[in-house]
Chains A and B, each alone.
Chain A
Amino acid sequence: MFRHVALLLLLFTSACAIARQDNNEPLDAQLVRTLEPGKTTAREVVEKLGAPTEVVQLGRRTAYRYDASTAKGAVLILVVLNFGNQDTRSDRLWVFFDEHDVLSHYGASFGTHRTQYALPWEDVHEASDNQERDAGRPGVGR
């Protein structure tokens, strides 16, 4: 009898919760692909993408950083034993300009769409999961 009451009590007192936190708008991968090294200027980059998060001076060169991140958290509360997990991924773009403010290089990573609600023992970096999510984001899937 006591065991059944204890189990019922655990069932009613256990809980789970999810939470999501976004920082900045995800970058537009299709827009990023329109950047042309040797041609696009710093002014055009800012007109397309807006104000950068950070500007770094690299000798005569300059680099702008654009980023966004998404964090997804899941919590399983079993009263005495509790589990929590948070998966955070980022979209990040670095654009490098020469001394004439013309784009010389850029590097981009898109990860916000890969973020997952998961529990601590789950693998959130599986290649098949990533490919599936990449396919659903314009400009990222191959």
Chain B
Amino acid sequence: MNASVWRALSATLLGCVLASASSCVVYDRRRHDEPLAPEVISALQPGQSLDACLRSLGAPRQCFAYRGDGVAMLWAWSDTDALSVDVSLPLQENVSASFDLDLADTEAQGCMLWFGPDLQLERWQQGRLGDLLPGRSRPTFEPASDEPVGYGRTAGG
């Protein structure tokens, strides 16, 4: 058989498979808050006051304690694309095969600003949220020295 016959047979076979299968393609996009304008970020200067930064950037998503009376502020936004393909193919009675493919780009972006105890801008960093946020860990339990022996504390030997 020549190549054109093979191509026709392959196309027919693929057509039969697709006709008997139920397939679904979904393109989903989710946008959360507006990104900070690049020109606003590039205009930041070390030593700038908290007031000036809040005026130009607006309210942050979150604030964290930093170096005693200092504060770290996070602005965050996201634009997520997800393409999913779902193909279900009946093989026999009561038996079917399905195929799911999800291609999601879920990296949220943000900009963190650190202000010292005098509330002057020390530094800032832009990037993925995972790189900007401090690592999560459970706080350790530190009982006060005058706390009575009881729940969560044992008497010393």
Q: Which residues of A approach B to under 8 Å, CB–CB?
A: 37, 56-61, 63, 65, 79-90, 92-94, 96, 105-109, 111, 114, 120, 124-125
- CB of B27 within 8 A of CB of A59, answer no
User: Contact flags (1/0) for B38-60 with A, using CB distance below 8 Å?
Assistant: 00000000000011001101111
B residues 45-90 touching A (CB-CB < 8 Å): 50-51, 54-55, 57-61, 63-66, 68-71, 81
Q: Which residues of B approach A to under 8 Å, CB–CB?
A: 23-35, 50-51, 54-55, 57-61, 63-66, 68-71, 81, 117, 119
- CB of A107 within 8 A of CB of B69, answer no
Going nearest first, the 5 A-B pairs with the smallest beta carbon separation are A107-B54, A59-B69, A109-B58, A120-B29, A92-B59
- CB of B33 within 8 A of CB of A111, answer yes
Q: How many A-B residue pairs have CB under 8 A?
A: 92
- CB of A61 within 8 A of CB of B69, answer yes
What residues on B are CB-neighbors of A87 within 8 Å? 31
- From A60, A63, A84, B28 is in contact (CB under 8 Å) with A84
- CB of B27 within 8 A of CB of A107, answer no
- From B61, B63, B66, B70, A63 is in contact (CB under 8 Å) with B63
- CB of B27 within 8 A of CB of A120, answer yes
What residues on B are CB-neighbors of A60 within 8 Å? 69
Q: Smallest Cβ distance from B101 to chain A, in angstroms?
A: 14
- CB of A88 within 8 A of CB of B24, answer no
- From B24, B54, B58, A80 is in contact (CB under 8 Å) with B24
- From B27, B50, B70, A83 is in contact (CB under 8 Å) with B27
